Amino acid sequence: MPGMDGYQVLVRLQENVQTRDIPVIIVTAMNEAEDEERGLELGAADYITKPLRPRIVLARVHKQLALKWAGGLLRDRNASLEAQVEQRLGENQLIQDVSIHALARLAEIRDNETGNHLRRTQEYVRTLATRIKGQSRFAGQLTTRTIDLLAKSALLHDIGKVGIPDQILRKPGPLTPDEWQVMKTHAKLGSDAIELAERDAQRPVAFLTLAKDIAHYHHEKWDGSGYPEGLAGEAIPLAARLMALADVFDALTSRRVYKEPVSLDAATGIIREGSGRHFDPNLVDAFLAGRDEIAEIANHYCDD
């Protein structure tokens, strides 16, 4: 064949999206095993040597048509099954997300923290985690999926407040030392509740592990002066360190029945002063670098 031989034609067909799935039968006078192997390696479906015998050619063609039809049917069925699985996963994910929000709202409506506190802190955590993702000290800890799970888990940080009596939780003024001791138990109460949910699950649920760390340790401080365990430095889980900064910043800039919000500049100054004492210095650096993005979140989800 002048210009292009059969093998080159086959290569062109394989390279073209419109023709690559069409079965190709090579018909040739060459009957060496190497020639047949070459054709099959290039993607040919079958190989017929001359002289041609019509019945054999027709049988081979019918065979390829049947295989093509069966392959198409199998692909259609697989695509349908994948679509059904995707739909079911989406439904399960929606149920999970709604359940998480419902639990988080349950704690929120009993507390003085109202409005968009949950959404703001969730997005603060996501923003901070995304900013430190590329740092070598956090290599392997933060992937896109992990960050999504962190943001989802952040919603449950104060779930333990459902176990705090109303006269303490909703008190409009300062707590007494005894009342403060009771209030601090919400961290362990939340962690215990999530741990019970983990036990009830038929298999490990990644976001519950993060949620448990956040609920239990988000009031720990970098210098070890926090509660409930008095952990310090990197002994505090990263998820809880992220939540600690997000939660404090939101508390500073939000109105409560017992306080007015502070300005963005004032809150930023407090966060900066807390570097190495209350907060992980690396997270404070990320917060300061992303201050404009943090401010946008605060404005977008501001309380009415």
Which CATH number fits the domain that encloses residue 126?
A: 1.10.3210.10
- The rounded percent of the chain whose pLDDT value lies above 70 is 94
pLDDT band of 2, cuts 50, 70, 90: confident
Q: Which of 80, 98, 122 is the last residue of a domain?
A: 80
Residue 88 lies in a domain: no
Q: How far apart are CA 170 and CA 173, in angstroms?
A: 9
Same domain, 181 and 130: yes
Take residue 220 and report the two structure tokens written for it: 């720990």
Q: How far apart are CA 97 and CA 222, in angstroms?
A: 31
Take residue 166 and report the two structure tokens written for it: 């109303």
Averaged pLDDT, 244-263: 89
Same domain, 132 and 218: yes
Same domain, 178 and 61: no
Domain count for the chain, please give it.
Answer: 2
Residues 173-184 have pLDDT tens digits of 888 999 999 999
**CA within 13 Å, CB half, 138:** 22
Select from 297, 304, 48, 303 the least CA-distant residue to 151. Answer: 297
Residue 296 lies in a domain: yes
Q: In this structure, are residues 229 and 220 in contact, taking their beta carbons and an 8 Å threshold?
A: yes
Same domain, 223 and 263: yes
Find the angle CA(21)-CA(27)-CA(30) to the nearest 5 degrees: 130
Q: How far apart are CA 260 and CA 303, in angstroms?
A: 13
Q: What is the pLDDT of residue 110?
A: 65
Averaged pLDDT, 281-289: 96
**pTM score, two decimals?**
0.70
Residue 274 lies in a domain: yes
Residue 99 lies in a domain: no
> Which of 263 and 91 is assigned the larger pLDDT?
263
Same domain, 262 and 193: yes
Same domain, 38 and 119: no
Q: How far apart are CA 176 and CA 256, in angstroms?
A: 18
Tokens 């190989």 appear where? Answer: 47
Same domain, 155 and 44: no
Helix (H, G, I), strand (E, B), or coil: what is residue 18? coil
Q: Which domain holds residue 43?
A: 6-80
Q: How far apart are CA 197 and CA 132, in angstroms?
A: 30
Same domain, 55 and 123: no
